[in-house]
């Protein structure tokens, strides 16, 4: 198994094996969670995909939603498409 990790898709990584691409979000435990493991990184699986393009599309959607702001439909589409353009500059989606 391999792992794709780069700043462009942070805080997400993509694990690659013989059968699929797995999108994983890396979440750092904060003080607000009142845990003894503050600063530890937790992995949260976000989906399984048959190709890299669909995995990157999922990350674009998640990065848009992680902004946690109120969007108009037009703003949401523009933001989502901006992430897709960044990714497509590296990979043909």
Asked whether residue 28 is domain-assigned, the answer is yes
Can you give the pLDDT at residue 84?
Answer: 93
Give the pLDDT confidence score for residue 83 in this predicted structure: 93
- Is 17 among the domain residues? yes
Percent of the chain with pLDDT over 90: 67
Is 93 among the domain residues? no
DSSP lists the bridge partners of residue 45 as 24
- Would 10 be classed as within a structural domain? yes
Is residue 48 situated within a structural domain? yes
pLDDT of residue 80: 93
Whether residue 69 is contained in a domain is answered as: yes
Structural domain count of the chain = 1
Give the domain extent around 40.
2-88
**CA–CA distances in Å: residue 79 to residues 1, 33, 38, 71, 87:** 32, 29, 31, 9, 13
User: Treating both helix axes as pointing N-terminal to C-terminal, what angle do 52-66 and 73-88 enclose, rounded to 10 degrees?
Assistant: 140
Can you give the pLDDT at residue 34? 62
| pTM for the predicted model, two decimal places | 0.83
Q: Residue 14 domain-assigned?
A: yes
């Amino acid at each position: 198994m391999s792992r794709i990790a780069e700043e462009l898709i942070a805080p997400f990584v993509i694990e690659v094996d013989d059968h699929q691409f797995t999108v994983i979000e890396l979440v750092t435990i904060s003080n607000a969670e009142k845990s003894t493991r503050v600063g530890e990184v937790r992995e949260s699986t976000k989906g399984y995909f048959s190709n890299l393009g669909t995995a990157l599309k999922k990350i674009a959607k998640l990065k848009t939603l992680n902004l946690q702001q109120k969007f108009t439909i037009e703003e949401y589409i523009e933001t989502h498409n901006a992430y897709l353009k960044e990714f497509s500059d590296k990979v043909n989606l």
